[in-house]
Amino acid sequence: MRHISDSHLAALPQPLTGVVLAGGRGSRLGGRDKGLLVKDGQAFVAHIVSALTPQVDDCLINANRHIDEYQHFGPVISDELAEFQGPLAGMLAAMRHCRAGWIVTLPCDGIEVADDYVARLARALANSGQPIAVAHDGQRLQPVHALIPCHLQASLEAFLATGDRKIDRWYAAEGFAQADFSDCPEIFRNINTPEQQREFKAE
Ligand SMILES: Nc1nc2c(ncn2[C@@H]2O[C@H](COP(=O)(O)OP(=O)(O)OP(=O)(O)O)[C@@H](O)[C@H]2O)c(=O)[nH]1
Ligand SMILES: [Mg+2]
């Protein structure tokens, strides 16, 4: 349950489900299930769920492997599209699960979550006239960090039915607001390669 003052709450999309996208192949990391990497004695997914929980109404984990392990950290949903078709497949599974309201997404391969992660995305969305908000680190868009209304489920299904899997193209087709995180680009640090895993001292 989120612990944000009532005045703040009014501006936030409701109901809001946090979604940890942990459905990837981890192919650059030898197939490791990256949400289960460990830092400071805790799985990445545990770090993320604890930081996200105060900012949302509930939290889901989107995973395609090691479901039993992920279930220790919260309810798990899997992609309905087979064979790791990318993060949009996870977003669609979450939108279908929630049906109404909003989802806010995070990847599973970093552990930093800004305290005002959701608030910033919501602020960017407010009065933008756009349906989606996506984080921007000052240099580039961070497309797996997004706030998305579930009523776009049909649009996403239609997009995926064309065979396209490119997340930026779906956002561009719908229109999106950029949320500015240029003062804290380090929160987007994520582990993709063995070298990054060593630098990050993750097991
Ligand atoms: N649900 C779901 N999430 C995915 C899928 N592919 C990637 N993701 C997630 O999207 C985020 C960014 O993906 P990457 O950093 O490229 O992770 P990855 O695809 O597991 O890694 P590589 O195979 O090395 O590219 C991570 O949180 C992944 O878990 C997928 O097919 N389904
Ligand atoms: Mg990554």
Domains of the chain, with CATH numbers?
Answer: 6-200 (3.90.550.10)
- Looking at residue 185, its amino acid is P
Residue pLDDT, tens place only, 56-78: 999 999 999 999 999 999 999 99
Query: pTM higher than 0.85, yes or no?
Result: yes
User: Is the CB of residue 78 below 6 angstroms from any atom belonging to ligand 1?
Assistant: no
Confidence of residue 6 (pLDDT cuts 50, 70, 90): very low
Q: Which of 4-18, 31-45, 184-198 has the lowest mean pLDDT?
A: 4-18
Relative to the alpha carbon of 193, which ligand is closest? 1
104-143: buried (b, 16+ CB within 10 Å) or exposed (e) per residue?
bbbbbbbbebbeebbbbbbbbbeeeeebbbbbbbeeebbb
| Beta strand segments in 47-200, E | 58-63, 76-77, 102-107, 132-136, 141-149, 176-180
Average pLDDT for residues 95-107, to the nearest whole number? 95
- Looking at residue 155, its amino acid is S
125 pLDDT above the threshold of 80: yes
Q: How many CA atoms lie within 13 A of 20 on its CB side?
A: 34
pLDDT of 121: 97
Supply the mean pLDDT for the chain. 93
Q: For residue 38, report the phi and psi dihedrals to the nearest 5 degrees.
A: -120, 135
User: Is the CB of residue 137 below 6 angstroms from any atom belonging to ligand 1?
Assistant: no
Confidence of residue 83 (pLDDT cuts 50, 70, 90): confident
Average pLDDT for residues 110-125, to the nearest whole number? 96
Q: How many angstroms is it from 179 CA to the middle of ligand 2?
A: 19
Query: By alpha-carbon position, which residue is closest to atom 19 of ligand 1?
Result: 24
In 3D, which of 150, 143, 139 has the Cα closest to residue 185? 139
